[in-house]
Amino acid sequence: MQKYGGTSVADSERIAAVADHVARTVRAGNQVVVVVSAMGKTTDELIHLADQVSKTQTPREMDMLLSAGERISMSLLCLALADLGVHAISFTGSQAGIITDTSHMKAKILDIKADRLRKAIEEGKVPVVAGFQGVSTSKDVTTLGRGGSDTTAVALAATLGASVCEIYTDVSGVYTADPRVVSTARKLGTISFEEMLELASSGGRVLALRSVEFARNFNVPLHVRSSFTWEPGTWVKEEDPTMEQAVVSAISHEAQEVKITITKVPDKPGVAAQIFRSIADRGINVDMIVQNTSIDGFTDISFTAPRQDMQSAIEVTEKVAKDIGAEAVYGDKEIGRVSLVGAGMKSHPGVTAQVFETLAAQNINIEMISTSAIRISCVVRESQLEAAVLALHSAFGL
Ligand code: ADP
Ligand code: ASP
Ligand code: MG
C-alpha cells in the first residue's frame, strides 16, 4: 500500500514522479495499491469556494464538493501510469467499497467490501483509490475528516492484508517535533503505535489519528517517508519489549483548539454529566477538562475542544448553563497546547516537574494540565506556544 499526500501530487511534475515510483515498485515484482490525496491545497480551496457561496454549507453537499479533489488526482495518476505501461485503474471511495456511517465530513468507516480491488489486483492492475471518502449506509458520498486519506490507506491495507502501508509525504519521517517549528528536530527510526497515537491526538498532524488506530488494531506496520527524497523514513509499529524506551520521544503542539469556561456551576452530582452529555450529543470531542475546588457550593469548569466546533460548543454550553443555573460561558481562542510523549515516562518520575520548571524558566504560564501514562500536555497562551515547544525540545535533549 502506498499513500501519497497532497504535496506529493501537487502538480504535473509531482504526479509524474509518483507514477515513476509506482511503476518501479510494480516492476520490482510487488503488488501495489495506491491511495491519493487531493492535489496540493485543493481541499482548502474547495472549502474557501463554499465559504464564498454559502453560509449554511449543508454537510451532504460539502462532501460532494470535497470528494471531487481526490477524483482529480486519482485519474491523473492513472493517466500518467498508462504512459509508463502500467495498467492502473482508479476507484472513488464508493467504488472501492468503503462503507461509512452517515456523519458527513467526519464519517467513520464501518466496513470495506474490497471485491473490486481484489479482482483488479488479481488481473495484474494497480488500483488507485481516492482517499478521504466513502459511501454512507444511506448511499450518500461522505468524507472522513481532514487528513482522512491516511485512514483510507491504512484501512485498505488492513483489509487487503498488505505487508506494509507506506505513507509518502513532504517530510522524511516522524520527527522529535514538527520540523517546521523546531529546525533541530531529528527523524526517528521507529516509534510505537502507542506513542504515535498520543502524538497524532495531540497535534502531530503527520498521521491522522484514526489511521494510527486502525494500524494498531490490525497491526499494520506504517512507513512514513518522503516522496521528494524517497529515502527510508520512520517505521510505526508494535513496541519492541527488548528495547530501552526513551523517556520523551517527541513533542507535539496544537493551536487549533478553544478553551470554554463555565463559571459558578452548582457543585452537585449529575451536573458534569449533563454538560458533557449535551456536548457529546453534538458530536464534539472534548479533550482536557478541569474543575476547580468548589467554594460555597459553586465551581468553575473549563474544557478544550476543536476550534472548528467553537460556535456549536458555546451554543450548547450556554443552553445547559441556563438549565443548571450556572453564571456564564466564556470561549477563549488564544490558547495552544504543547505535549510531550514517551513510553519511558511510565517508569521515570520527575518528568512532569521538569516540564513545569522548563516552562517557568521561560515565564510561560500553564493554564491547564492533563496526563496519560505516556503523555503530559499543558495549555499555554497561543503566543507562547512555539517558545514552549523549543524550550522543551532542548530541555529534554531531543
Ligand atoms: P500530507 O499532505 O502528505 O498528508 P500533512 O501536511 O498532513 O502531509 O503532514 C505532514 C506535515 O506534518 C509536515 O509537513 C510537518 O509540518 C507536520 N508535522 C507535525 N508534526 C510532525 C512530526 N513530529 N514529524 C514530522 N512532521 C510533522
Ligand atoms: N484532501 C484531504 C485533506 O486535505 C484529505 C487528505 O489530504 O488526507 O484533508
Ligand atoms: Mg495528512
In the three-class reduction of DSSP (H, G, I as helix; E, B as strand; rest coil), residue 189 is classed as: coil
- List alpha helices for the chain, DSSP H: 12-27, 42-53, 59-83, 115-122, 149-160, 193-201, 209-218, 271-281, 310-324, 351-361, 385-395
Confidence of residue 205 (pLDDT cuts 50, 70, 90): confident
Backbone dihedral region for residue 139 (phi beyond 0: left; psi -120 to 50: alpha; all else: beta): left
Domain spans of the chain, in order of start: 2-170, 257-332, 335-395
Condensed to tens digits (0 to 9), the pLDDT of residues 272-313 reads 999 999 999 998 989 899 998 888 999 999 999 999 899 999
Measure the CA–CA gap between 342 and 245, rounded to whole angstroms: 8
Residues contacting ligand 1 via CB (< 6 Å): 5-8, 37, 147, 169-171, 174-175, 177-180, 204-206, 250
Q: What is the mean pLDDT of the chain?
A: 96
Q: Are 339 and 395 in contact (CB under 8 A)?
A: no
Ligand 1 centre and the CA of 208: distance in Å? 10
Residues contacting ligand 2 via CB (< 6 Å): 5-6, 37-38, 43, 69, 131-132, 146-150
Q: Are 132 and 144 in contact (CB under 8 A)?
A: yes
In the three-class reduction of DSSP (H, G, I as helix; E, B as strand; rest coil), residue 196 is classed as: helix
- The reported pLDDT for the residue numbered 391 is 98
Which option is the CATH number for 335-395: 3.40.50.2300, 3.30.2130.10, 3.90.180.10, 3.30.2350.10? 3.30.2130.10
**Arithmetic mean of pLDDT, 372-398:** 96
Pocket test for ligand 1, best of 171, 201, 224, 339 (most atoms within 8 A of CB): 171
Share of the chain above pLDDT 70, in %: 100
Ligand 3 centre and the CA of 277: distance in Å? 31
The pLDDT of residue 241 is above 90: no
The pLDDT of residue 62 is above 90: yes
State the closest ligand 1 atom to the C-alpha of 174, by its place in the atom list counted from 1. Answer: 24
Condensed to tens digits (0 to 9), the pLDDT of residues 352-366 reads 999 999 999 999 999
Condensed to tens digits (0 to 9), the pLDDT of residues 83-127 reads 999 999 999 999 999 999 999 999 999 999 999 999 999 999 999
Q: Which CATH architecture has domain 2-170?
A: 3-Layer(aba) Sandwich (3.40)
Residue with cell 453560509: 55
State the closest ligand 2 atom to the C-alpha of 70, by its place in the atom list counted from 1. Answer: 1
Ligand 3 centre and the CA of 150: distance in Å? 7
Ligand 1 centre and the CA of 217: distance in Å? 23
State the closest ligand 2 atom to the C-alpha of 144, by its place in the atom list counted from 1. Answer: 5
In the three-class reduction of DSSP (H, G, I as helix; E, B as strand; rest coil), residue 226 is classed as: strand
DSSP state at residue 7: G
Q: Enter the CATH code of domain 257-332.
A: 3.30.2130.10
Confidence of residue 368 (pLDDT cuts 50, 70, 90): very high
Sheet with 250-254, side-by-side order of all strands? 250-254, 335-341, 375-381, 368-372
Per-position DSSP letters for 287-318, written without gaps between them: --EEEPPPBTTEEEEEEEEEGGGHHHHHHHHH
Share of the chain above pLDDT 90, in %: 93
Pocket test for ligand 1, best of 178, 197, 337 (most atoms within 8 A of CB): 178
List all residues 6 or more positions away from 266 whose beta carbon is below 8 Å from its beta carbon: 297, 298, 324, 325, 326
Per-position DSSP letters for 13-52, written without gaps between them: HHHHHHHHHHHHHHHTT----EEE--STTHHHHHHHHHHH
Same-fold call for 257-332 versus 335-395 = yes
The pLDDT of residue 208 is above 90: yes
